Structures are given as C-alpha cells and as structure tokens.
Structure 1
Amino acid sequence: MRGQAHTLEAFVAGLLVLSGIVFALQATAVTPLSASTSNQHVGNQERAMAAGVLETTDANGSLEEAIVYWNTTPDNQDRGEFYGANATDGTAYADAPPNAFGRALDDAFGERRTAFNVVVHSFGENASLTRTWMVRMGIPSSDAVTVGRQVTLFDDATFSSPEAGNISAAAANPDRRFYASDASRDGRLFNVVEVRITVWRI
C-alpha cells in the first residue's frame, strides 16, 4: 500500500513539473511593442478605410483622374511629375493631392493622426515594373497596412491636369514624359496600373 502511495506521489509530482515546463514555454512577455488586439483592430480599421477610399474613388472616376493628374513638361526637370507636386525628394506630393482623390484621403485620414503614402505601379518595357510616387509622407512604421487597386487606362484617356492631350500621345512624344508606357500599341489598351495606399499611425 505504501509503495502504491509513493508511486502515485511521484506520478503527480511529474505531472506538476511537466505542466510547469509547458506553461513556461507558452508564456510570452508583453512589451509596449508587442502586438495586441487593440493594434490589430486599428490596423484592420485602417485597411478597411483605405480599401473604401480606393473603391469609392474608382467607382466615381476620381481615382483615374488622380492617376493622370500629371505634368509632362515641368520646369527645370528632365522628368515628369504629378501636377503641383510639392515633396522635396521627388515628383510626388508631401500631403494629399489637390483633387477629388486627395480630398477623399483627407476625409479618411486627415483628422486621425494617420500618415499615408500612395504609389502607382505600372508595367514598362519588357514587362518591367515601374514605381511612381504620388504621395510621399515618410517611412511607414512596422505596423503599417497596404491596400492596392488596379485601374485600366486606355489610349484616349486625357490628362485631368492643365496638361493638354491624351496619355498615349504624350507617351509617344520624346519631348513629353509620362510615367507609364503604352503596353499595347496595337490596341486601345494603354496600361493597367495599380494604386497602392500604405497607412500608418504617427
């Protein structure tokens, strides 16, 4: 009887030790940089808002207008830029663009202590990917979220800026510069671009 009691005690002690080891391995330290349910909720909310901006502006045409709000012959530069670009490090805006797409970005993020970058990706010659900054507010934080939407541009799309003419004529003119090239010179399709919004808290 006594031997059985000792065996039972040893078995229970072993279970306690094993449980302690499993608990220690599963436990993680929570630091200010640890991901939390709150941070995940904020990230999901920002992702949904960015997707909503892209979907709404694509539906009403202002996303395409922002894509072609372009200056092919800026002063003192050998490349084009978004019309009225004011960023110090390139051809982009330092804040929301001065058009309907920019107003939608401001309405979504302007009062929320939220920064955003907007980049337009397009296919160049030999299927190479070209990245053109539209808005460049800074370097995203580690918890930034990115949402993209594709927009099809056709040869007869005209610039929404004071620039004259259509995008295909500008792309074919060596004295004018447009960031996207004509991907289908034998058809109506000009290019399929993807607009990506990256959002993060500041």
Structure 2
Amino acid sequence: MDRAQAHTLEAITAAMILVSSLVFALQVTAVTPLTGSTSSQHIENQQGAVAEGLLTTAEENGTLTSTLLYWNDSEESWHGATGDGYVGGAPPTAFGAALDDALSERGVAFDLTMHYVDASGTRRSQAIVDLGEPSDHASSATRLVTLEDDDRLRAQDGSVSGTTLENASYVVGDTVPEQNLYAVVEVELVVWRI
C-alpha cells in the first residue's frame, strides 16, 4: 500500500511540473493575429515570385519598355494618369493587363515605381502606379531597363509615335547625350495582399 501511494504521489508531482511548464511557456509566448506564421511567410514568398516573374516576362516580351514609353509628352505624364501615376489600377498597356490578371483580380495590391538618377546625381523616383501604402508584409522585385535615344514614345492607343526620347520632355533626362544610351532606370514592383 505504501508503494502505491508513493507512485500516486510521483504521478501527481510529475503532472504538476508538466502543467506548470506549459503555463510558463504560454505566458512567455505572445501570439497575436499579426504574428507571422509560416503560412504568411509562404504567401509573401509567392507574391515576391509572382512580381519577379511578371517583371522578367514583361522585360523579355518588350511590354515593360513600352509601358515606360507610354508617355504623354504634351502633358508630361503617362497617358490618362494623374501626377501620382495611375491611382485606380494598372496602366492601359499590355503589361498593365498582365498586372491586373496576375494581381488585381486575386486581391493583391501593387505599386509600380521607376527609379532613376538625375543630372545632379540624385536618385529620384516616379510613380507609375500608386495603389496605396504597402503593408509590412509586402514583397518587391526590381528590374533594370535600358532606354535609348531613338526609342519612340507610345500614343494613347498604344501605337508607336513619331517622338523619340531624345526629342521628348520625358520624366528622365538624357544621361549620356553624346551616345545613343538615353538612361538606365530601375523599375520596382511592390505587391501586398489587401
């Protein structure tokens, strides 16, 4: 009988230690709705891969450059955009349609920004699409695009116009006037779940 009581006492003591350890562990760890999880990290990685894929594909098929050249020279902005770029959605270009298909229709917001260095050597940014402030869990991808003096701007219907970059009032100035190279710009696509 003494032996049975000793085993019972041991079991109760072990259970109390185990429960105390669990309570301590739960108090030390704060879990909130905003706590990152492996599933949210997976979603961020997926969105980053989609952004990278969109920029790579658009660069390869030429739709990224043609979107950069979708410039209204007389208004000194992209066709139909505000001074802050397109604030209601993607530009009405082939690349814009790809952005809508891959992102907007799936509840993913995005910003598309062009970064460049001006004549004084200062890094500047120009919004092409500005759909709001990215969340803390946003992902981004970038691509360098080379523009040349003889690249032609696009008309509002998307057709090639007669105005070349060297003769336009483009957002970026000619960085190398003595060569055919006009400028190298960095295009950044930031994506986040709404």
Task: List 4+ stretches of structure 1 deviating above 4 A.
Answer: none
Supply the AA of the counterpart residue of 1:36: S
Map of 1:68 onto structure 2: 69
Supply the AA of the counterpart residue of 1:178: Y
Structure 1: segments with no counterpart, 5+ residues:
1-15, 75-79, 171-176
Correspondence 1:201 to 2:187: no
* Deviation readout 1:123-156 (Å, 9 max, x if unpaired): 1112211211100111111111111100001111
Correspondence 1:40 to 2:34: no
Deviation at 1:41, TM superposition (A): 0.6
Map of 2:115 onto structure 1: 121
Contact 1:148 1:196 in 2 (8 A): yes
Map of 2:4 onto structure 1: none
Deviation at 1:91, TM superposition (A): 4.0
Map of 1:93 onto structure 2: 86
Supply the AA of the counterpart residue of 1:112: R
- What is the rounded CA distance, in whole Å, between the counterparts of 2:120 and 2:104 in structure 1? 39
**Could you tell me the TM-score, scaled by structure 2's length?**
0.81
CA RMSD of aligned residues (A): 1.9
* Deviation readout 1:164-190 (Å, 9 max, x if unpaired): 4101111xxxxxx31111111111111
- What is the rounded CA distance, in whole Å, between the counterparts of 1:123 and 1:97 in structure 2? 23
Q: Secondary structure in 2 aligned to 1:111?
A: helix
- What is the rounded CA distance, in whole Å, between the counterparts of 1:153 and 1:161 in structure 2? 17
* Deviation readout 1:46-75 (Å, 9 max, x if unpaired): 00001000000100000000001001212x
Q: Tell me which protein shows more strand as a share of its residues.
A: 2
Q: Residues 102, 83 of structure 1: CA spacing in aligned structure 2 closer, same or farther, 3 A cutoff?
A: same
Q: Secondary structure in 2 aligned to 1:40?
A: helix
Map of 1:160 onto structure 2: 154
Structure 2: segments with no counterpart, 5+ residues:
1-16
How many residue pairs were aligned? 168
**Could you tell me the TM-score, scaled by structure 1's length?**
0.78
Supply the AA of the counterpart residue of 1:98: P
Correspondence 1:178 to 2:141: no
Map of 1:82 onto structure 2: 78
Identity of aligned residues (%): 41
Supply the AA of the counterpart residue of 2:72: N
2:99 to 95, 100, 105: 105
Contact 1:46 1:199 in 2 (8 A): yes
Map of 1:5 onto structure 2: none
